[in-house]
Amino acid sequence: MTFNLPIIPPRQVTGLAGQGASRGGGIEIPIYYPATGQQISTLIEDGSAAVAQAVAIARDAFDKGPWPHLSVEKRMEVLEACRTKILENVDELARLECAATGLVLKELKARHMVRAAYNFRFFAEYISQSKGEAYTQTDNYITTVTRRPVGVAALIAPWNAPVALATMKIAAALAFGNTCVLKPSEQTPLSLARLVALLNDVLPEGVLNLVNGRGPVTGAALVANPDVDLISFTGGTETGRAIMSAAGQNLVPTTMELGGKSANIIFASADIERALDGALQGIFSNNGQQCLAGSRILVERSMFDEFTARFAERAKRIKVGDPLDDATEVGPLASAPHMNRVLSFANMAREDGGSVLTGGTRRDDLGGGYFIEPTAVLATSNADRCAQEEIFGPFATFLPFDDIEDAVSIANDTQFGLVSYIWSYHLPTVMQTQTHLRSGVVWVNTPMMRELRAPFGGFKSSGVGREGGASCERFYTEEVTTSTPIKPVQLRRFGAET
């Protein structure tokens, strides 16, 4: 079986570190189309000199450029222009993203790119509402607290939803007056390279820069650069640890949006049809590669067998295949090593005493692409590796529970704490469960629903800090306290006595 390419991508992808900057200097990294396994492009890595140059350009644009000092109205206009650029180029951006990630094109166009455009509108509207503080506790002083941009923002993105995730960071950083250096994942640089070029048509020179390459090379050079003032990172937990250590050397603030192993808790008091749809959507959306996947499905024991059987039956019928086909529900995984890692968890589940309900094998009939069958396993306990480790694929792990206490105890028994899902129409059950869950977000009777005004982020190894309206404002700005006397105040007159 062969699949057409979504687009003919550029032969080479390089960083875009402003005008006059040298590019590359590092190795060539092949980019593959996950649906076929064929090489479709080559990334030229930015070495430390190119990264230093990109940061210097962003520094200059911050220190000397107009961007941090533009009026809110002017900045809103530019953010709106960014939104328009994305909306005018949805098809091309979605196809480039599909080419490197294997995500289903229809989903990319309908959800990811629309959301990417909205990220700019959201922050444009947000800054129009931003408030400061003023204190007048004493008769003689007014003290104000205002917010200023922090400076040069290093934005580091993962491969699983490059444009949607990176635009959250770019839009927020720019809206609050910072300049940026973006580093996409070396696996999926195509769509973000095009996006940065498009946005640079409407942004002032040097405000948004792009460096490309591997994490330990290009990424490490970026986060260690003393001219970087803040780091916003989305990616794996181990990488987050490395970046926070590096950030500690320069004492720069970080936000860490990291991995998850989220519990999807289904009580017998749920609307079972909706819970079944929600559980399938929660683990198989985005080809199963999402931080907020409901990857541990905890089902009340009284209906465990029936629920898992029905889930497996539906999972078997999921349409796996060509990302360009509108009927496709799950496309290929992002890379060959990732596919092999995901599949290895089916064997681990068996070795740990569990069983494979459905899936667990590669779809060889679909050619050389990285397709696997949507998979569901029964774990023997929450200590099993398939219940503890983030698998990051279309792979659900089931466990039964007896009551609220049991469900909460299993849900919390993990290093992660990103999101949780609760399915029940019994209000006390929902509230008691919600109160005890240790995760940053709880969704009740719904799959993922992102409210951009509300904080998003994790407990424990799922992250540090939050993204979302006010959380982003706090992160991307510094508070400045200014005290001014209303009328001349009595001063101590050192040295005035003769």
Q: Closest distance between ligand NAD and the C-beta of residue 266, in Å?
A: 22
Residue 253 contacts residue 476 (beta carbons within 8 Å): no
Q: Closest distance between ligand NAD and the C-beta of residue 391, in Å?
A: 10
Where do runs of H (alpha helix) occur along 64-218?
72-88, 90-101, 105-107, 113-128, 162-175, 190-200
Residue 269 contacts residue 423 (beta carbons within 8 Å): no
**At 14, which amino acid appears?**
T
Q: Closest distance between ligand NAD and the C-beta of residue 239, in Å?
A: 3
In the list 46, 97, 107, 186, the residue contacting ligand NAD (rule: CB under 6 A) is 186
In the list 259, 278, 359, 393, the residue contacting ligand NAD (rule: CB under 6 A) is 259
The verdict on 183 binding ligand NAD (CB under 6 A) reads yes
In the list 175, 195, 243, 410, the residue contacting ligand NAD (rule: CB under 6 A) is 243
Q: Which is nearer to ligand NAD, 186 or 229 (CB)?
A: 186
The region of 58-66, 115-123, 229-237, 276-284 touching ligand NAD under the rule CB under 6 A is 229-237
Residue 158 contacts residue 165 (beta carbons within 8 Å): yes
Q: Which is nearer to ligand NAD, 186 or 384 (CB)?
A: 186
DSSP per-residue letters across 3-33: ---SS---SEE--B-STT----EEEEEEEE-
The verdict on 216 binding ligand NAD (CB under 6 A) reads yes
**At 432, which amino acid appears?**
Q
Q: Which is nearer to ligand NAD, 290 or 424 (CB)?
A: 290
**Residue 413 DSSP SS3:** coil
Q: What are phi and psi of 223, to 5 degrees?
A: -70, -20
The verdict on 389 binding ligand NAD (CB under 6 A) reads no
Distance, CA of 332 to CA of 353 (rounded, Å): 28
Distance, CA of 283 to CA of 294 (rounded, Å): 5
In the list 57, 116, 117, 157, the residue contacting ligand NAD (rule: CB under 6 A) is 157
In the list 45, 46, 97, 257, the residue contacting ligand NAD (rule: CB under 6 A) is 257
Q: Closest distance between ligand NAD and the C-beta of residue 54, in Å?
A: 14
Distance, CA of 304 to CA of 300 (rounded, Å): 6
The verdict on 242 binding ligand NAD (CB under 6 A) reads yes
In the list 235, 354, 360, 400, the residue contacting ligand NAD (rule: CB under 6 A) is 235
Query: In terms of Cα–Cα distance, which of 203, 195, 201, 200 is closest to 175?
Result: 203
Extract the tokens encoding 267. Answer: 């009580």
Position of minimal CB gap to ligand NAD? 215
- Count residues near ligand NAD (CB under 6 A): 32
In the list 232, 239, 286, 375, the residue contacting ligand NAD (rule: CB under 6 A) is 239
Q: CA geometry: angle at 33 spanning 31 and 38, to 5°?
A: 85
Q: Closest distance between ligand NAD and the C-beta of residue 165, in Å?
A: 6
Residue 359 contacts residue 311 (beta carbons within 8 Å): no
Q: Which is nearer to ligand NAD, 97 or 300 (CB)?
A: 97
Q: Closest distance between ligand NAD and the C-beta of residue 340, in Å?
A: 14
Ramachandran bin of 321, using left for φ above 0, alpha for ψ from -120 to 50, beta for the remaining angles:
left
The region of 56-64, 153-161, 195-203, 484-492 touching ligand NAD under the rule CB under 6 A is 153-161
Per-residue binder mask for ligand NAD (CB under 6 A), 411-450, x = binder: -------x--------------------------------
b/e burial code for range 379-403 (CB count within 10 A of at least 16 → b): beebebbbbbbbbbbbbbbbbbbee
Q: Closest distance between ligand NAD and the C-beta of residue 463, in Å?
A: 6
Residue 224 contacts residue 246 (beta carbons within 8 Å): yes
Which 276-315 residues touch ligand NAD, going by CB under 6 A? 291
Query: In terms of Cα–Cα distance, which of 318, 310, 313, 325 is closest to 363?
Result: 318
In the list 33, 392, 398, 443, the residue contacting ligand NAD (rule: CB under 6 A) is 392
In the list 339, 390, 407, 422, the residue contacting ligand NAD (rule: CB under 6 A) is 390
Residues catalogued as catalytic: 257, 291
The region of 210-218, 321-329, 363-371, 482-490 touching ligand NAD under the rule CB under 6 A is 210-218
Q: Which is nearer to ligand NAD, 228 or 418 (CB)?
A: 418
Q: Which is nearer to ligand NAD, 243 or 437 (CB)?
A: 243
Query: In terms of Cα–Cα distance, which of 100, 95, 97 is closest to 39?
Result: 100
- Distant-in-sequence, close-in-space partners of 437: CB < 8 Å, separation ≥ 6: 263, 408, 411, 412, 420, 422
The verdict on 160 binding ligand NAD (CB under 6 A) reads yes
Residues that bind ligand NAD (CB under 6 A): 156-160, 165, 183-186, 214-216, 219-220, 223, 234-236, 239, 242-243, 257-260, 291, 390, 392, 418, 458, 463
